[in-house]
Chain A
Amino acid sequence: MKIDFEHGQAAHCESGVTSNLLKKISNGKITEPLAFGIGAGLFFVYVPLIKINNGPAIAFRSMPGFIFNRTCKSLGIPVVQKKFSSKEKAEAALMESLEAGQPVGAQVGVYYLSYFPKEYRFHFNAHNLIVFGKEDDNYLISDPIMEHATTLTSYELERVRFAKGALAPKGQLYYPGNQKQITDYQIRQAIKSGIKKNAFNMISIPGPFAGVSGIRYTGRKIKAWRDKLGLKTAGLYLAQLVRMQEEIGTGGGGFRYIYAAFLQQANDYLPNADLLKASEMFTQSGDLWRTAAVQAAGIYKGRIGSQEDFNVMGDYLLQIAEIEKKAFTILKNIKW
């Protein structure tokens, strides 16, 4: 059984899945950047006291699951979302949707995801893919990270749907609750709401750890890492930062380029010079994130490593925080 569904590659799994699930009812208009921006996907957070893989817990995007929900909600589309306590029920529900002709988004863990190269398999449980059919014992899988559609056996799919650890997917499935066509009016409204929400998340969330304050906080922390952790561990921490920023699924520059692309596309729907100005600022910010990554690589490769090198690294983040603060202030103040 194979549903009429077209696989599309994307940079980021959740915005890619969202865009692909909405492709039919939006006539392909909900591109990945639009899904990412409407879903208010851009973020930064440094979670203190928690360690991931023995390194700092840093994210450049909003909570997993947020983008699909928020995008649908802003577009006025009801969301069907289910978690399961039993593996049998989880598979039955999946089959039921497939038999009804509905491609289904699924949250999975990547550790036992067989088609991923081993080097990329960590216990990361917030990966997303679409199941769009079953042939013999093989489920047809559209993973937005991959160039082509692929398959997983029923055992392999069950194992990743029931991966354990932080953010365990619990077999979670999701898809849009109706098939009504999305209008341009809905898209315009959704863009405004997404930008507003994202500006709030980046410049108005209280506390020092999230949004641009979080970037500043991390910049200052980095300057202290060399003395506090020693050169080797500080290098490992920086490598982790770079992986969160650039590794599969960010589109480059910690999602800043996707966001810049979103603002350009937003301008097609709601022409406004401020959108384009902010877009250029996010390009600048993405470029600086990458310059910082090159500096970090110098440290974890052992090519450089003085306190001055850490200061330069930290200062990049302080500079980035300033740019993003200005950009989101421009966006926040747009009179629609």
Chain B
Amino acid sequence: MKQENVPQDLSSLGKITKEVCYATDSTGKYVTTLSDGWDVKITALDVAWEEIQGRIAQAKQKVLNGEASPLLFFMELRLMDTSIVADYTGFWKWQIKRHLKPDVFNKLSEKDLKKYAEAFNVKVAELKSMDVHED
């Protein structure tokens, strides 16, 4: 890629820091050039997040319908599967799967809820209400 062709499409990263790209100058020698971002990868990231947002919304609906505990919502929100949650909380995967049932979740002790709250970086109250305030 030639230096003058390095794309400069402002991405959400570009607002915080420019990225180093390697490109050739007029003599063909490689130099580093800063880039604000590239439309092609901005869209790739957008597409990935749209999919995630859809999964979060679906999970929320399931919780509201009483088909799953708030745990499902937070797992989607935090992009965590059962093995990551297991690593953060110290629960076994089968325990987490049980906790996905609303009845079981509602009987969890304060101590267990705290473990989940810490893993998801929220307060215990938020864990129950799915009402998260961020940024």
Using CB atoms and an 8 Å cutoff, list the residues of chain A in contact with chain B: 9-11, 33, 53-55, 111-112, 115-120, 122-123, 145-148, 164-165, 168, 235-236, 239-240, 242-243, 246-248, 251-253, 257-258, 260-261, 264-265, 283, 286-287, 290, 293-294, 296-297, 300-301
Contact = CB atoms under 8 A, between A and B. Distances in A.
Nearest to B30: A261
B41 A243 contact: yes
Contacts of B104: none
Contact of B22 (A112, A148, A243, A251): A251
B92 interface: no
A119 B22 CA distance: 24
B130 interface: no
Report the 7 A-B pairs with minimum CB-CB distance, sorted nearest first. A164-B87, A261-B30, A257-B22, A239-B44, A11-B20, A165-B84, A242-B44
A123 B80 contact: yes
Nearest to B20: A11
Interface string B15-29: 111111111100001
B88 A164 contact: yes
A32 B12 CA distance: 25
Contacts of A236: 47-48, 51
A165 B17 contact: no
A238 to B, nearest CB: 8
B8 interface: no
Contact of A251 (B20, B45, B51, B78): B20
Contacts of B38: 246
Contacts of B12: 117-120
B32 interface: yes
Contacts of A290: 1, 40
A253 B2 CA distance: 12
A235 to B, nearest CB: 7
A293 B21 contact: no
Contact of B21 (A145, A251, A296): A251
B64 interface: no
B106 interface: no
Contacts of B88: 164
Contact of B84 (A123, A248, A251): A123
A301 B43 contact: yes
A168 B51 CA distance: 25
B83 interface: yes
A242 B41 contact: yes
Interface of B: 1, 6, 12-13, 15-24, 29-30, 32, 34, 38-41, 43-45, 47-49, 51, 78-80, 83-84, 87-88, 121, 135
B32 A11 contact: yes
B52 to A, nearest CB: 8
Contact of B44 (A123, A243, A252, A261): A243
Contacts of B51: 54, 236
Nearest to B85: A164
A145 B79 contact: no
Nearest to B118: A159
A268 to B, nearest CB: 11
A246 B22 contact: no
B97 to A, nearest CB: 18
29 contacts: A11-B21, A11-B22, A53-B48, A53-B79, A111-B78, A111-B79, A115-B16, A117-B16, A119-B13, A119-B45, A123-B79, A165-B80, A240-B48, A242-B40, A246-B40, A247-B45, A248-B13, A252-B22, A253-B1, A257-B22, A260-B30, A261-B30, A264-B29, A265-B30, A283-B24, A286-B1, A293-B41, A296-B44, A300-B44
A321 B25 CA distance: 26
B30 A33 contact: yes
A296 B40 CA distance: 9
Nearest to A120: B13
Contact of B41 (A111, A246, A301): A246
